[in-house]
Amino acid sequence: MGQGGADLDLAAVRAFVTVTEDRYFSEAAARLGISQQAISKRIAKLESDLGVRLFARSRTGAHLTETGAAFLPHARALVNIADQALEMLHGRRRALRVDVLDTRLASIDLIRAFHDTAEDVDIQIITSNGFRSAREALIRGSVDAAFCRVGAGLEEELVAAPVYLEPLHLLVGRDHPLAGLTRVEIARLSGTTVWMPGNVAGSEWAEYYDFLGADFDIRMDTSGPDFGWEHFVAEVVSGRGASFIGEGTRVPWHPDAVRLPVVDPVPVYPFLLLRHRHNRHPALELLTRHVASRHVPLDPRHQWLPAPDRVAFAS
């Protein structure tokens, strides 16, 4: 505030800070995208408002006066506060970036259900390779939330909330011995091999099926290649073997494909909402409350879940 009581011009303060960094008015003007005449006018106005001289000009550039040097940290603070305010407003307008493994999985239905309750929230879907990439993206801030199974310990800055336990189905061809059933008791799969070509080594879903196989004596055949969903269904139907899919997984339609719920107990795949504890996107809090309201705890009498996942879904 100057001697006459006028408010500081933020554009002039920004021009002052830029000149101190670039030393030359011409270079500062180029960085700000304005003319040299315009930046000179801004500095002159600031000096007039403050009633002091901020720069001493010479052939080697603009040098801070003693008063200018004393004003610089305050000017930088003003510019930083303004930039933070603009970033906050930008964040409110920015789409909520949500990471999913695949748009055919149940996580998309969870996001769609949220959007139905908050239609004014713009959502950007980002697909990845699951927890391994989502954790890094959340830490970098390139995504705001991720739906996945957490297969290992979390960094301190990440928070995971239980969301959904998805029942498994068995996908078989119409000529498969189990195809005539309406559901499959998991004990009937003991000693058999189930084809899971997408079970990438080291992934959290491959670890899940390793737990499942160990508990129920089911071998997982992860041989490929995996050429996508249409090829996957065609291979199952042609007799390659049965495969597990989630109840909410939208596989391409095929006249000879049969889906059978797996029961006694029902194997369930755990989805968690993963977020950075310091992310302040306003829609993220809405999403967190929405999924918390839909969470149903594990029913250990009728559902199976790997031991490492049970704590998160116990209540």
Range in 45-59, 158-172, 210-224, 245-259 with the lowest mean pLDDT: 45-59
pLDDT at 92 over 60: no
Summary mean pLDDT of the chain = 90
Q: Looking at residue 21, what is its pLDDT? A: 85
Model confidence at 182, in pLDDT bands (50, 70, 90)?
very high
pLDDT at 207 over 60: yes
Percentage, residues of the chain above pLDDT 90: 62
CATH 1.10.10.10 location in the chain = 10-93
pLDDT at 155 over 70: yes
Write down the CATH number for the domain with range 96-310: 3.40.190.290
Model confidence at 90, in pLDDT bands (50, 70, 90)?
low
pLDDT at 152 over 80: no
Model confidence at 1, in pLDDT bands (50, 70, 90)?
very low
Nearest to 247 by CA among 142, 117, 106, 141: 106
Q: Say if CB 270 and CB 149 are below 8 A apart.
A: yes
pLDDT digits (tens, 9 = 90+) for 102-114: 999 999 998 999 9
Model confidence at 179, in pLDDT bands (50, 70, 90)?
very high
Residues 6+ apart with CB under 8 A from 46: 8, 9, 12, 13, 15, 16, 54
pLDDT at 89 over 60: no
pLDDT at 43 over 80: yes
User: What does the block give as tokens for 81?
Assistant: 């506060």
Q: Looking at residue 129, what is its pLDDT? A: 87
- Cis ω for the linkage preceding 261 (within 30 of 0): no
**At what angle are helices 106-117 and 282-294 packed, to 10 degrees?**
110
**What average pLDDT does the segment 227-248 reach?**
94
pLDDT at 8 over 80: yes
pLDDT at 177 over 90: yes
Q: Looking at residue 3, what is its pLDDT? A: 44
What class has domain 10-93? mainly alpha
Residues, the chain, total?
A: 315
- b/e for 251-266, b at 16 or more Cβ within 10 A? beeeeebbebebbebb
Residue 48 half-sphere exposure toward CB, CA atoms < 13 A:
9
pLDDT digits (tens, 9 = 90+) for 124-135: 999 988 898 898
CATH 3.40.190.290 location in the chain = 96-310
Range in 62-66, 178-182, 259-263 with the lowest mean pLDDT: 62-66
**What average pLDDT does the segment 26-53 reach?**
90
Task: Label each residue of the chain as H, E or C.
Answer: CCCCCCCCCHHHHHHHHHHHHHCCHHHHHHHHCCCHHHHHHHHHHHHHHHCCCCEEEECCEEEECHHHHHHHHHHHHHHHHHHHHHHHHHHHHCCEEEEECCCCCHHHHHHHHHHHHCCCCCEEEEECCCHHHHHHHHHHCCCCEEEECCCCCCCCCEEEEEEEEEEEEEEEECCCCCCCCCCEEHHHHCCCEEECCCCCCCCHHHHHHHHHHHHHCCEEECCCCCCCHHHHHHHHHHHHCCEEEECCCCCCCCCCEEEEEEECCEEEEEEEEEEECCCCCHHHHHHHHHHHHHCCCCCCCCEECCHHHHCCCCC
Model confidence at 88, in pLDDT bands (50, 70, 90)?
low
